[in-house]
A = this chain, B = another copy of it.
């Protein structure tokens, strides 16, 4: 299939970006083995690029990223290969279909975020970096079976109207969204960092709450003065 020269150039750029961003997941030890995945919307088309299933992080390259449509159907894999896309492709596709402002989606089983998720417990906003980045708690979505639309539905329902770009899926792991893939990766890195810091703080007592108006002020300043995200404020 050919989408015209302009879209083809965009696809090539997004392939390279999605491939390259996976190195941030290993750098911050958010993933092991072949787990975790990043996708990015192809601007100007109802398409996205996602990691292949079961390929080592050492072997990821622009040319083995998979091009899918918004039903999660593979449009283009590496010529001559039979790589299938990430087993979470249906969830990514559902998010792109229902959240037009989202340009990137990330999924990991990062340790501390998953530990909160296993208890079905939201992460309370008790550090300023969390107020900056997430504008409040990181919420929990329901237990959902892997492989159909259930996870996508849960992500969209939980994050719509919520400031947080991260959602803990109960007993499972964390999904993050962003204006683009890099923004979603940043949210995944920050989500694990705050999950860890708040966990450790709670081990020896109760973290002090931050007043809601201070959370609002921190979030507003960070998103509007220092933020560089293209997600509209109402979304974030």
Contact = CB atoms under 8 A, between A and B. Distances in A.
A53 B228 CA distance: 11
Given A206-B119, A214-B145, A200 B197 contact: no
B111 A200 contact: yes
Interface residues of A, number: 56
Given A111-B200, A118-B198, A33 B186 contact: yes
A175 B132 CA distance: 18
Contacts of A128: 146, 171-173
This chain: copies in complex: 4
A119 B170 contact: no
B111 A33 contact: no
B118 A208 contact: yes
A193 B217 CA distance: 32
B145 A35 contact: no
Interface string A101-135: 00000000101101111111100001111001000
